[in-house]
Copies of this chain bind each other. A is one copy, B any other.
């Protein structure tokens, strides 16, 4: 029983004791290939964040181990990711650290705070925050971020000494103004690296596939582009001493060995300054990880639990903080590599973590001569795939309001930065949604032939009575549509002077909030002042229970609640005939 409870919190107790030997070859293969992808990627993203390369590598040992034990995805590949690195870069530019030590401290503290935020979100079960970001907003945000990331790498790709924290237009202006200062050796190595990676991924891959080599091998070769350009550019740089001869910027000395474990110091004012950034990093990291995790889990009919993910990711970020890393999440590309290389269980990730540890112990001296332009090339290729105009085209065809959110978010992120951009986009998409639902579909209904069915008078030949107006409302009633409801009903009554009875058909209403309740009370009152009685028909059970808590039903006065529209019309028609006979004999 105790173990069973623990399994809920520690998925490792579920998969490790039941480990099948048949899963081992796939796990080993995936573990090795992900490591090959991860070494250059981790260093590249650390450079993008504006941090020393070892922080990227440190982020790939303890965080991976912790996620393997706590996360609910079996194949998510944890480590530094592009978006969070860009956010870290923005925060670093704002904080403008005075020393290298302070810079590193900002990185680890961000991971710590992101971890705390994620675990707090777990405690209050706040995974629902994801529901506030619409897909068009995320798409606009991702495309714009990818462009920002790519342009931020121009300084490394072209060997320019650009200040931190420039926006897109300032970067373009700087490059244009300083084109004479471009380090052509850096530019050539960078561009050639891009071409090699693209060639391995594209034309070579197609060629090998046509040669009928086994598909997993072909795929794996396609992913080795980054590793190849790393090895090639290191060899060339060392051979020709390009760092001396051509002033080529290189990675330089990376501390050898595993990171020392230590908690970043508690410093409230400093934490308070970093918190807003950490919050966005946590939310975006969570969003990316859950999307990737869900997509991959469904292929094997496995589940992803958003709250369990908060726990796994939170722990991974605390791990990054304690072992000298910076914020981590589950990367899209890497996780796909892990999955398609045959990973069956989180053991693949544990193998990756082990190999990363070994690399830190023995491999770092070989990375000394790695040109920074090569890392820039790797980043640019990685993010180019995130620029997504297809979604814009689809969205534009399907829904102009959603397309507006997408474009607005895209422009806002490019011009105002990541945080204001996504906040603006989210607010706009919510406003457009509220606006859309503020004019719900309503239909005057009438009886179809001699049946008990009532349909829209505009679409069907139906029978109505001049004294009775039956109105079906096709949406839940809440504050955004109460004004429309009031106006619609009052206008109908003003335009149909004969009407004595209005019947609201509530078959599609599963929720009435207190604003709408107040509006209904006001409508009853106003109709009464105008000599009209309001009735209700087909109120759903839960809605009726809810209304029963108030004195709403007693406010109806002469109005009644009918089970069906049929019953309502029958009763009211009969009553008005009787009334007519009495008053006009």
Q: Are A394 and B550 in contact (CB under 8 A)?
A: yes
Q: Which of B436, B483, B493 contacts A130 (CB 8 A)?
A: B483
Residues of B within 8 A of A133 (CB): 479
Residues of B within 8 A of A490 (CB): 294, 298, 303
Among the 9-residue stretches A85-93, A236-244, A269-277, A470-478, the one with 4 or more Cβ atoms under 8 Å from chain B is: A470-478
Q: Are B398 and A515 in contact (CB under 8 A)?
A: no
Is residue A441 contacting chain B, with contact meaning CB distance below 8 A? yes
Residues of B within 8 A of A433 (CB): 478-480, 513
> Given A302-B494, A526-B295, is A135 in contact with B514 using a C-beta cutoff of 8 Å?
yes
Q: Which of B494, B514, B527 contacts A398 (CB 8 A)?
A: B514
Chain B's nearest CB lies how many Å from the CB of A306? 8
Residues of B within 8 A of A493 (CB): 301
Chain B's nearest CB lies how many Å from the CB of A242? 47
Q: Which of B301, B429, B483, B497 contacts A479 (CB 8 A)?
A: B429
Is residue A131 contacting chain B, with contact meaning CB distance below 8 A? yes
Q: Are B513 and A134 in contact (CB under 8 A)?
A: yes
Please, how many angstroms separate the alpha-carbon atoms of A402 and B441 in the complex? 24
Q: Are B550 and A136 in contact (CB under 8 A)?
A: no
> Given A134-B479, A301-B530, is A441 in contact with B510 using a C-beta cutoff of 8 Å?
yes
Scan A517-543; emit 1 where CB is below 8 A from any B CB, else 0: 111001000110110000000000000
Is residue A438 contacting chain B, with contact meaning CB distance below 8 A? yes
> Given A131-B481, A132-B431, A430-B430, is A510 in contact with B475 using a C-beta cutoff of 8 Å?
yes
Please, how many angstroms separate the alpha-carbon atoms of A527 and B301 in the complex? 8
Scan A483-517; emit 1 where CB is below 8 A from any B CB, else 0: 11011001101100100000000001011011101
> Given A135-B482, A480-B131, is A514 in contact with B550 using a C-beta cutoff of 8 Å?
no
Residues of B within 8 A of A435 (CB): 128, 131
The A interface, classified by DSSP as helix, strand, loop or mixed, is helix
Is residue A170 contacting chain B, with contact meaning CB distance below 8 A? no
Q: Which of B299, B430, B494 contacts A303 (CB 8 A)?
A: B494
Chain B's nearest CB lies how many Å from the CB of A493? 7
Task: Report how many residues on chain A are interfacial, defined by Cβ distance under 8 Å.
Answer: 69
Is residue A364 contacting chain B, with contact meaning CB distance below 8 A? no
Q: Are A399 and B513 in contact (CB under 8 A)?
A: yes
Q: Which of B397, B482, B526 contacts A550 (CB 8 A)?
A: B397
Please, how many angstroms separate the alpha-carbon atoms of A295 and B429 in the complex? 32
Is residue A546 contacting chain B, with contact meaning CB distance below 8 A? yes
Q: Are B399 and A514 in contact (CB under 8 A)?
A: yes
> Given A132-B434, A490-B303, is A474 in contact with B399 using a C-beta cutoff of 8 Å?
no
Please, how many angstroms separate the alpha-carbon atoms of A476 and B510 in the complex? 11
Q: Of all chain B residues, which has the CB nearest A508?
A: B508
Is residue A359 contacting chain B, with contact meaning CB distance below 8 A? no
Is residue A340 contacting chain B, with contact meaning CB distance below 8 A? no
Scan A423-464; emit 1 where CB is below 8 A from any B CB, else 0: 000000111011111100100000000000000000000000
Q: Of all chain B residues, which has the CB nearest A526?
A: B298
Please, how many angstroms separate the alpha-carbon atoms of A519 and B130 in the complex? 14
Q: Are B522 and A295 in contact (CB under 8 A)?
A: yes
Q: Are B479 and A131 in contact (CB under 8 A)?
A: yes
Q: Are A438 and B298 in contact (CB under 8 A)?
A: no
Is residue A549 contacting chain B, with contact meaning CB distance below 8 A? yes
Is residue A395 contacting chain B, with contact meaning CB distance below 8 A? yes
Residues of B within 8 A of A395 (CB): 514
Q: Which of B136, B436, B479, B487 contacts A135 (CB 8 A)?
A: B479
Residues of B within 8 A of A481 (CB): 131
Chain B's nearest CB lies how many Å from the CB of A510? 5
Max chain B Cβ within 10 angstroms of own Cβ: one of A306, A433, A436: A433
Residues of B within 8 A of A487 (CB): 306
Residues of B within 8 A of A402 (CB): 513-515
Q: Are A135 and B518 in contact (CB under 8 A)?
A: yes
Chain B's nearest CB lies how many Å from the CB of A445? 15
Q: Are B397 and A299 in contact (CB under 8 A)?
A: no
If A301-B494, A433-B513, A441-B510 are given as contacts, then 7 extra A-B residue pairs at C-beta distance below 8 Å, sorted by A number, are: A131-B481, A132-B431, A135-B479, A301-B493, A306-B487, A429-B479, A436-B511
Offer 7 A-B interface pairs, CB within 8 angstroms, sorted by A: A132-B431, A294-B490, A298-B526, A301-B493, A303-B491, A398-B546, A430-B430
Shortest beta-carbon contacts, A-B, top 10: A298-B526, A134-B479, A135-B515, A402-B514, A131-B438, A131-B480, A299-B529, A134-B515, A301-B530, A395-B514
